[in-house]
Amino acid sequence: MVIRSLVLILLAASLSVTAAPQDTRPPLSEDEVLDLLNNAMPSKAIVSTVRKYGISFQPTPQALEKFRKAGADKAVLGALREAWHADVPKPLGDKDIRMMLAEDVPSDAIITAVMGRGIDFQPSDDYLEEIRSEGGTRALMETLRKAVPRPYNMNELLQLLATRVDQDWLAQKVQVRGIDFEPSKANLQTLQNRGALGPLLAALRAAKRAQPFAPMVPPPPPVSRPLMPGGAATLICDPSDRDVPVLGDPRDLGNIVAHLRCGDHVTFVEPAVSPPGMDKIRYGDGKEGFVSNSYLELPIATPGGSVTAPSAIYKPEPPYTPEAARYKIEGTVKLWIVVDTQGNVTDVQETSELLGYGLDQSAMDTVKRWRFAPATRGGAAVPVRVTVELSFRLGRKAP
List the single range of 21-35, 246-260, 330-344, 376-390 with lowest mean pLDDT: 21-35
CATH architecture of the domain covering 232-296: Roll (2.30)
Alpha helices (runs of H) in the chain, residue ranges in sequence order: 2-13, 30-38, 43-53, 61-69, 74-83, 94-102, 107-117, 125-133, 138-146, 154-162, 167-177, 185-193, 198-206, 322-326, 359-367
- Tell me the pTM: 0.43
List the single range of 118-122, 124-128, 350-354, 365-369 with lowest mean pLDDT: 350-354
Average pLDDT over the chain reads 81
For residue 219, the model assigns a pLDDT of 53
> pLDDT tens-digit profile of 285-323?
899 999 988 787 555 667 877 778 999 999 999 999 888
> pLDDT tens-digit profile of 165-203?
789 999 999 999 999 999 999 999 989 988 899 999 999
Q: Can you tell me the distance from the alpha carbon of 370 to that of 342, in angstroms, rounded to the nearest whole number?
A: 12
Q: Is 77 exposed, middle or buried (0-12, 13-18, 19+ CB in 10 A)?
A: middle
| Cβ-defined contacts of 343-347 (< 8 Å, 24+) | 343/310, 343/313, 343/371, 343/372, 343/373, 343/374, 344/371, 344/372, 345/369, 345/370, 345/372, 346/223, 346/383, 347/220, 347/223, 347/385
> pLDDT tens-digit profile of 120-146?
999 998 998 898 888 888 888 888 988
For residue 171, the model assigns a pLDDT of 94
Q: Domain 311-392 in CATH: superfamily? A: TonB (3.30.2420.10)
Nearest to 20 by CA among 193, 136, 266, 169: 193
For residue 4, the model assigns a pLDDT of 47
Q: What angle do CA 170, 176, 179 make, to 5 degrees?
A: 75
Phi, psi (deg, nearest 5) at residue 329: -85, 130
Phi, psi (deg, nearest 5) at residue 314: -145, 115
Largest CA distance in the chain: 90
Q: Is 258 exposed, middle or buried (0-12, 13-18, 19+ CB in 10 A)?
A: middle
Q: Domain residues of the chain, as ranges?
A: 2-83, 94-146, 154-206, 232-296, 311-392
What residues does 268 pair with on adjacent strands?
A: 281
